[in-house]
Structure 1
Amino acid sequence: MRISIIGLGWLGKPLAMYLKAKGFEVRGSVTSEEKCAKLKSDGLDCCLLKMSPHPEGKDFNKLFDTDVLIINIPPRRRAQSDTFHPEQVKYLKALINQANVKRVIYISATSVYPELNKEVGEEEILTKENTSNPALFDAEQLLWRGKTYDLTVIRFGGLLGMERVPGRYFSNKENVAGDLPVNYIHQTDAVRLIDFIIVNGMWNETFNGVSPMHPSKREIYEKNFKDFRIAPPKSYRDTSDKSWKQVTSSKIQSSGFKFVYNNPLLFDYSPF
Structure 2
Amino acid sequence: MRKIGIIGLGWLGLPLAEKLALEEYQVVGSTTQDSKAEELSKEAYGVVTLNLNPHPTGKGFNSLFETDTLVVAFPPKSKSQEAEFYFQQLAFLKKLIDQSKVKRVLFISSTGIYPKEARAFDYDEEDELSKSNVGNQTLLEAERIISEKRAYELTILRMGGLMGGNRILGKYFEGKENVDGSSRVNYIHQIDAVNLCQWVIEGNYWEEIFNGVAPIHPDKKSILERNAADYGFTLPKSFLQNDLSIHRIISSEKLTDFGFEFEYPDPLDFPYSL
Range of TM-score over shorter length: over 0.9
Q: Distance in 2 between matches of 1:103 and 1:148?
A: 9
CA distance in 1, matches of 2:182, 2:40: 40
User: Following superposition of structure 1 onto structure 2, how do residues 45-194 of structure 1 map, counting pairs within 5 Å?
Assistant: 45-78=46-79, 80-118=81-119, 119-194=122-197
Q: Aligned pair in 2 of structure 1 residues 208, 173: CA closer, same or farther (>3 Å)?
A: same
Deviation string 1:135-166 (CA, Å, 9 cap, x unpaired) is 11101011111111100000000111111101
- By how many angstroms is 1:244 displaced? 4.8
CA distance in 2, matches of 1:169, 1:106: 28
8 Å CA contact 1:120–1:248 kept in 2: the answer is yes
Shift of 1:171: 1.1
1:82 is displaced (CA, Å) by: 2.3
* Larger mean Cα displacement after TM superposition, 54-63 or 257-266: 54-63
Q: Is the 8 A contact 1:29 1:46 kept in 2?
A: yes
TM-score (ref. length: structure 2): 0.95
8 Å CA contact 2:22–2:44 kept in 1: the answer is no
Q: Secondary structure at the match of 1:246?
A: coil
Question: Contact (CA 8 Å) 1:72, 1:107: kept in 2 or not?
Answer: yes
Equivalent residue number for residue 34 of structure 1:
35
Hey, what's the Cα distance between the residues in 2 that align with 1:263 and 1:45? 34
Residue of structure 1 equivalent to 2:5: 4
> RMSD across aligned C-alpha pairs, in angstroms?
1.6
Please point out which of 195, 199, 205 is paired with 1:196: 199
Closer, same or farther: CA 219–97 of 1 in aligned 2, 3 Å: same
What is the aligned-residue identity percentage?
43
Q: Aligned pair count?
A: 271
Which deviates further from its counterpart, 129-138 or 200-209? 129-138
Question: What's the CA shift string for 1:151-196, capped at 9, x where partnerless?
Answer: 0000000111111101111111111111101000000000000100
The runs of 5 or more residues in structure 1 that have no matched partner are none
Q: TM-score, normalised by structure 1?
A: 0.95
Matched residue, 2:262? 259
Q: 1:82 to 1:130 in 2, by over 3 A?
A: farther
In structure 1, what is the Cα distance between the partners aligned to 2:54 and 2:174? 35
Give the match's secondary structure for 2:78.
Answer: coil
Q: 1:120 to 1:90 in 2, by over 3 A?
A: same
